Chains A and B, each alone.
Chain A
Amino acid sequence: DAKTTQPPSMDCAEGRAANLPCNHSTISGNEYVYWYRQIHSQGPQYIIHGLKNNETNEMASLIITEDRKSSTLILPHATLRDTAVYYCIVRSFTGGGNKLTFGTGTQLKVEL
């Protein structure tokens, strides 16, 4: 699976959009981009995933660049409860039990 690079930390004002970047320059054609978050010491929570089209669900939007070498997770109206570590993960589905490889993620701090 391709490696990802994320900034170690970001701050965001409550009510504003939080834009979390992720670089995955070695991504291959059959690899998906997944985002998870971990609030405090809880188990990680699935947010969203995509292949090449932009995706939106009730939690967030995922923007993937045309060359697929980077992506941005957007939390449209961040709240204090969105303070968490956000993990960007790239993986394929060619077998191997659908394993996810976690990096160190981005610590997002949402402040008043």
Chain B
Amino acid sequence: NAGVTQTPKFRILKIGQSMTLQCAQDMNHNYMYWYRQDPGMGLKLIYYSVGAGITDKGEVPNGYNVSRSTTEDFPLRLELAAPSQTSVYFCASSPSYKPRSSGTFTYGYTFGSGTRLTVV
């Protein structure tokens, strides 16, 4: 059980290049997310998905695209890399909302280890 796997761990891109950040989870989670984290800042949501074939924008979607063809995979695409996209990118997954009889919810996010991207 690997959890959430992100590849690559590091990448340097030139301005205008494209790349895809890969994210895969083996926990059968319905929900998946992409966040970016700039130095000294909290995480900002880029895109998220509530299931295969369904994606939606988060707080900072400009310059990115996503797709969700399977439950397991949620790749993030950068089409024309810009220096402002230099950041650490985290993928995460979570089970869908499921209440317990006690009224509390037992899930939390599982995060990947991140991809450190530099655009020069």
Contacts and interface: CB of A to CB of B under 8 A. Distances in A.
Contacts of A42: 111, 113-114
Contacts of B110: 46
Interface string B22-46: 0000000001010100001111110
A105 B42 CA distance: 7
B99 to A, nearest CB: 8
Contacts of B44: 102
B108 A103 contact: no
A109 interface: no
B74 interface: no
A104 interface: yes
A29 interface: no
Interface stretch (B12-20, B75-83, B89-97): B89-97
B42 A98 contact: no
A49 interface: yes
A102 B33 CA distance: 13
B108 A46 contact: yes
Interface in B62-120: 88, 90, 92, 94, 96-97, 103-105, 107-114, 116
Contacts of A102: 35, 42-44
A99 interface: yes
B42 A87 contact: yes
Interface of A: 32, 34, 36, 41-46, 49-51, 87, 93, 97-105
29 contacts: A32-B105, A41-B114, A41-B116, A42-B111, A42-B113, A43-B4, A43-B113, A43-B114, A44-B43, A44-B90, A44-B109, A45-B111, A46-B110, A49-B104, A87-B42, A93-B105, A97-B33, A97-B48, A97-B49, A98-B96, A98-B97, A99-B45, A99-B48, A99-B58, A100-B45, A101-B59, A102-B35, A104-B42, A105-B42
Interface of B: 4, 31, 33, 35, 40-45, 48-50, 56, 58-59, 88, 90, 92, 94, 96-97, 103-105, 107-114, 116
